Structure 1
Amino acid sequence: MEQGFALFETPIGLCGLAWGPQGLVGAQLPEAAPGAAWARLRRRYPDAAEAPPPPSIQRAIERINDLLAGGRDDLTDIVLDFSIVAPFNRRVYEIARAIPPGETSTYGQIAKAMGEPGAARAIGKALGENPWPIIVPCHRVLGADGKPGGFSAPGGVETKARMLTIERAKTSAVPTLFDMDFSVAPARGR
């Protein structure tokens, strides 16, 4: 499989994937301006040609679309080319990939899982460099007390909040309408 990239429509806008012989090398979230997603992919992957996605990439596109439409696919078996990232970042991404749709974690919890308490800032930096947003769900990583933290993808924290809303993620201890049980109606007095 040669290097290539493709753009595709999703429920949140025009996204893109770039691939190479060892798997996906990048994912692109929607940009605000028309044509900007294409231009960004061309800049990031100058050796990649725009091409029809091979079957494995087409399946990844379908699964991403399902997730962005409210599905629960965790995308953990999509093959990523980890040779393009630093070993520390790879560890961060592997832990972040284990966060299921609708769940969240914190920078501090990832640091603890890595056995590196106090590395929350370095983890935030690694997530800011994430070449595979959505597939490595950096949007599911929050600051302490459910604060959104940063999000370097186009649209910033607003895009992060939108993706968490689609996944019906709980971002704080305060119950939401999704947490309430409406199956039993309260008894009414006469």
Structure 2
Amino acid sequence: MTQYAIFETAIGWAGIAWGAAGLVAVHLPEREPEVARRSFLRRFPEAAEAAPTPAVGTAIAGIRELLAGKPADLSDVALDLSRTPEFHARVYGIARAIPPGETLTYGEIAERLGDKLLARDVGQALGKNPWPIVVPCHRVTAAGGKPGGFSARGGVATKLKLLAIEGARAAAQADLFA
């Protein structure tokens, strides 16, 4: 059974959903808690709002710290990969190893997967990432210091905001924060 919780962060109300095998989804912060709640119920109509388990509470604490600009390591948070294609899981594993404040390009991840021509596939996998922040897809940029795409609400502006919170050089180069 999927359960979820809505929680406040330094930049708004986020959400997290989990099951027996680990996290099922994370929802980036919204201005209102009800927006995050409705989003989960659209994706998981059978989900029940519940108090976080200790493991989920640890993930929430880490997300809060990161969104407040503090270093937090979320690489040990258990993810339910049962609905995740193998290629996507490999991409997410590499992305999870990128430390706060650092970035890799889509091409660099593709090279780590063994073929630089997979850069577009890497981008498509990250565009379907159900665990933003925990799988820090915002830390993956295009070549040449360009931010690249971001499929979450707010698009590239949200990506740059997350990178700026973490003190990443990619955000400092963007005109949006000059």
Q: TM-score, normalised by structure 2?
A: 0.92
CA contact (8 A) 2:3 2:50 kept: yes
CA contact (8 A) 1:28 1:133 kept: yes
SS of the residue 1:119 aligns to: helix
SS of the residue 1:35 aligns to: helix
Q: Percent identity, aligned pairs only?
A: 55
Of stretches 165-174 and 141-150 in structure 1, the one that deviates more from structure 2 is 165-174
Match in the other structure for 1:183: none
d(CA) in 1 for partners of 2:51, 2:5 = 7
d(CA) in 1 for partners of 2:35, 2:64 = 20
Q: Give the unaligned 5+ runs of structure 2.
A: 174-178
> Match of 1:51, as an amino acid?
A
Runs of 4+, deviation exceeding 6 Å = none
User: How many residues are aligned here?
Assistant: 173
Q: How does 1:4-83 map to 2 (within 5 A)?
A: 4-31=3-30, 35-83=34-82
Match in the other structure for 1:110: 109
Q: How does 1:170-189 map to 2 (within 5 A)?
A: 170-171=169-170
SS of the residue 1:38 aligns to: helix
d(CA) in 1 for partners of 2:43, 2:74 = 23
d(CA) in 1 for partners of 2:172, 2:54 = 41
More helix by share: 2
Shift in alpha-carbon separation, 1:120–1:135, aligned structure 2, 3 A: same
How far does residue 35 in structure 1 lie from its aligned partner after superposition?
2.3
d(CA) in 2 for partners of 1:19, 1:162 = 26
Which protein has the larger Cα radius of gyration, Structure 1 or Structure 2?
1
CA contact (8 A) 1:104 1:169 kept: yes
Q: State the Cα deviation string for residues 118-168 of structure 1 (Å, max 9, x = none).
A: 111111110000000000000000000111111111111111111100100
d(CA) in 2 for partners of 1:60, 1:6 = 12
CA contact (8 A) 1:32 1:155 kept: no
Q: State the Cα deviation string for residues 12-33 of structure 1 (Å, max 9, x = none).
A: 2110000001000000012366
CA contact (8 A) 2:17 2:25 kept: yes
d(CA) in 1 for partners of 2:61, 2:137 = 20
Of stretches 33-42 and 117-126 in structure 1, the one that deviates more from structure 2 is 33-42
CA contact (8 A) 2:62 2:74 kept: yes
> Match of 1:30, as an amino acid?
P
Do residues 119 (structure 1) and 118 (structure 2) align? yes
CA contact (8 A) 1:30 1:154 kept: no
CA contact (8 A) 1:96 1:141 kept: yes
SS of the residue 1:9 aligns to: strand
Match in the other structure for 2:146: 147
d(CA) in 1 for partners of 2:108, 2:124 = 15
d(CA) in 2 for partners of 1:39, 1:12 = 18
